[in-house]
A and B are shown apart, each in its own frame.
Chain A
Amino acid sequence: MTPTLTALGGGFRAEIQQLRRSRLLIVLTIAEAVTFLVLVSIFGLTGSHVPTAVVDRDGGRLARQWAQVMATSYHTYGVRYMNGRAAEQALGRGDVAAILWIPPGFSRHMASHRMIRIHFRVDNVNADLTTEAELGIPPVARAFGVANHFPGIRVVTAEKDLARHEVGFIPYLVVSALALAAFVVAGTLAASAVAREFESRTLAYLRLSPTHPLVPIAGRLLATAAVSAGAVTVAALLVVAGYGVVPDHPIEMAAALLLCVVIFSCIGAAIGTVVRRTQPLSALIFGLALALYLDSGSLEPARFYGNRLWVVAHTSPVYYAVGIIQQAVHEIQVTPETAPVNFAALIGWALLAAGAAWLGLRRAVVA
């Protein structure tokens, strides 16, 4: 074995030994990857439906059909059947955001194609939810009218899907969360490994050895990347087994996640070189990761939010990572850039980060 490989292996082994002795850190690292899935799932659950009480004072067939149309209206209403008193109490407590009263005689009026007033009460404590609730009613009325062949309503839908299949909000979110988990876990562990060299002043000692100091550090980074890959694998298995999201291209998914781990390890190393202290690293990387995550098409494709945000998103490595992973798992293209372009951009980011880390370490070594 060459001296360089021996030193690389020495650094790798030392980091594994160090991490083995920090079992709590490893447990927390794996838990961190999993908690992101839970975090985004909760986010998806809270944001996807307006909880709405339906008080059916008619009880007829068409009244039930109206409520059914509301419930199936895509990502708008979370319908709960209640009596009037319970609905008022639920609105007062904030359990529901709106109450829709179906008046007595609704079915009879509808059957004879006569107009009837529907009372819809919306809690305006949350403007976003209020607007969504208000805007949802006309499409429901239109869908209801079309289904019952009301005169004057003629809607012809010719749908041609861009994607081969539709992807649910939560399956979309949890896949993006894997990119976030890779960023946080690989970034934190790599940054800590590098920052520790500064904190313990072992960098000067490495410099005195016949091996280039960056070789054992590279060995340490390989070890943190291996551990990060393990943590992300646990999260990915949970996505498959727990959320039932089966990747269309599992090998591509694994490769994309592995690449993410490598790239975010490089970025973490660069951050560690700049910060040089282990204590603020977790908070810094978590703070960076959330901003990058939200801005990177992790919730929906970034281009939906307008040009400015879309431009900003392009500065984030998570944007390209999400693009690659969504493609690998759901086979949907969420970025205007193709997968090879996203790969190239991510590799560019990795090279940039590795270069920054190398320069920072080299500067520290010379200093």
Chain B
Amino acid sequence: MTEEAEVPRNVTMANGLAPALVPDAGAAELRGDRHQPGATAALASPVVRLADVSCRRGRRQALHRVSLEVQPAQVTGVLGPNGAGKSTLLGVVAGLYRPFEGAAWVLGEHLPARGPGLRRRIGVVLQETALYEELTVAENLRLTAALYSLARAAPRITEVLELIDLADRANDVVARLSGGLRRRVTLARSLLHQPELLIIDEPTLGIDAEARHAVWQHIRLLRTRGTTVIVASNYLDEVQALCDTAAVLHEGRLVTHETPEHLVAQAGQCLDLDCAADATAGITDLVLTLPGVSRVEASSSGLTVFLRGNADPDDIVREVLQRAHIGGFRVRAADLAEVFRVLDPAGKG
């Protein structure tokens, strides 16, 4: 008990020493309604606290001294390429893996002391759907209800199926469902016991665009109902669409934890210029002299110009058109690779 009472002080100190890990409060204020719950939640005690957590998966050190806080009623994204340690981080929070270094608290409980009571408060959607294929959707949920000893399981199952838009598929055998529907069934399964914390590993892995948006919609709905959600993703746009904050992992290390908007702003934009091969050298020399341009790369259709957060692509295009000929241009957001390049200019990322 004494140890638990001391924990928040320790973590506060850890965060105080690492201000980069705290989401940008100023940016949060600018986000309007969508971010208000996060802003108020910052005053409440975090749902998840990791302090210098390291974790091994076999011989590989999957997490290296990661410190992170997840605020209540927020959607927190864990972003990173494959092998970055996202699933391990989620596994530590879910109780699948034990950290060998550091300390972790979930919903106020110190992780090694986790028991059935804590597991009852957490919902997990694993990367693999892990459903009983020969059972129907409702039968899978009934088994979950039995595992969680849910009283009045039948009305709760109906409620969750309606919430996830699966009411008409309740009696379908899982083996005959599409990937997107299976993903929704796993989401329904994780929500059945009304968890305070929902952990979702790659929510839209291997599903089509329509199903992807449906899953996003459900996650947003959960957020509005006050559920704290942690989402691991490979996709920057997913984190942008869903999350209040994003923790970026690379090779088991936490690179940054901030708002997705700030992350994207840091990464800037990309400007694709369509031009002839013999013109690329001249245009490159020209573009690199312009303000706001961080670098230029050759692409299949010409050049890709990487702009810093404050640069205006229209100014760049205007300058180029005055001195050279280009066939066309496109402006797009930077991708995850560019985020890493910006966050880790030394090239480790």
Q: List A residues at the B interface (Cβ < 8 Å).
A: 3, 6-7, 9-11, 13-14, 17-18, 21-22, 200-202, 204-211, 216
Contact = CB atoms under 8 A, between A and B. Distances in A.
Contact of B139 (A17, A200, A208, A209): A17
A221 to B, nearest CB: 15
Contact of B132 (A200, A204, A207, A208): A200
A6 B147 CA distance: 7
Contact of A200 (B133, B136, B144): B133
A210 B146 contact: no
Interface string B89-119: 0000011100000000000000000011101
A210 B135 contact: no
A309 to B, nearest CB: 43
B115 to A, nearest CB: 8
Nearest to B174: A200
Contacts of A201: 126, 128, 130
Contacts of A7: 146-147, 149
A9 B153 CA distance: 14
B147 A216 contact: yes
B119 A6 contact: no
A22 B142 contact: no
7 contacts: A3-B116, A9-B146, A10-B143, A17-B136, A21-B135, A201-B130, A202-B132
A210 B147 contact: yes
A248 B148 CA distance: 48
B99 to A, nearest CB: 15
A210 B120 contact: yes
A17 B146 contact: no
B117 A210 contact: yes
Given A6-B146, A208-B124, 4 more contacts: A17-B139, A208-B96, A209-B147, A210-B117
B271 to A, nearest CB: 44
Contacts of B131: 200, 202
What 6 pairs between A and B have smallest CB-CB spacing? Answer: A10-B146, A210-B116, A209-B147, A3-B149, A205-B130, A210-B119
A24 to B, nearest CB: 12
Contacts of A209: 119, 144, 147-148
Interface centre among B115, B126, B132, B144 (most CB of A within 10 A): B132
Contacts of B94: 208
A208 B115 CA distance: 10
Contacts of B317: none
Contacts of A3: 116, 149
B39 interface: no
A216 to B, nearest CB: 6
A229 B116 CA distance: 34
A11 B116 contact: no
Nearest to A215: B147
A216 B145 CA distance: 12
Contact of A210 (B96, B124, B148): B148
A206 B147 CA distance: 8
Contacts of A18: 132, 134-135
Contacts of B144: 209
A14 B139 contact: yes
B214 interface: no
A222 to B, nearest CB: 14
A358 B116 CA distance: 20
Contacts of A10: 142-143, 145-147
A206 B119 CA distance: 11
Contacts of B120: 210
Contacts of A17: 134-136, 139
Contacts of A208: 94-96, 119, 122, 124
Contacts of A210: 115-117, 119-120, 147-149
B163 to A, nearest CB: 20
Contacts of A207: 96
A6 B152 CA distance: 13
Interface in B128-182: 128, 130-136, 139, 142-149, 173
B175 to A, nearest CB: 9
Nearest to B150: A6
A14 B189 CA distance: 15
A200 B130 contact: yes
Contacts of B147: 7, 10, 206, 209-211, 216
B248 to A, nearest CB: 26
Contacts of B142: 10, 13-14
Contacts of B117: 210
Contacts of B128: 201, 204
A289 B70 CA distance: 55
Interface centre among A18, A202, A204, A210 (most CB of B within 10 A): A210
Contacts of A216: 143, 146-147
A204 B115 CA distance: 16
A14 B119 CA distance: 22
Contact of A22 (B115, B122, B134, B149): B134
B100 to A, nearest CB: 14
A16 B126 CA distance: 26
B130 A14 contact: no
Nearest to A21: B134
Contacts of B130: 200-202, 204-205
Nearest to B128: A201
A113 to B, nearest CB: 79
Interface string B27-56: 000000000000000000000000000000
A128 B142 CA distance: 61
A14 B149 contact: no
Contacts of A13: 142-143, 146
Contacts of B124: 205, 208
Interface in B236-267: none
A135 B124 CA distance: 74
Nearest to B121: A210
B96 A204 contact: yes
A13 B115 CA distance: 26
B129 to A, nearest CB: 8
A199 to B, nearest CB: 9
Contacts of B143: 10-11, 13-14, 216
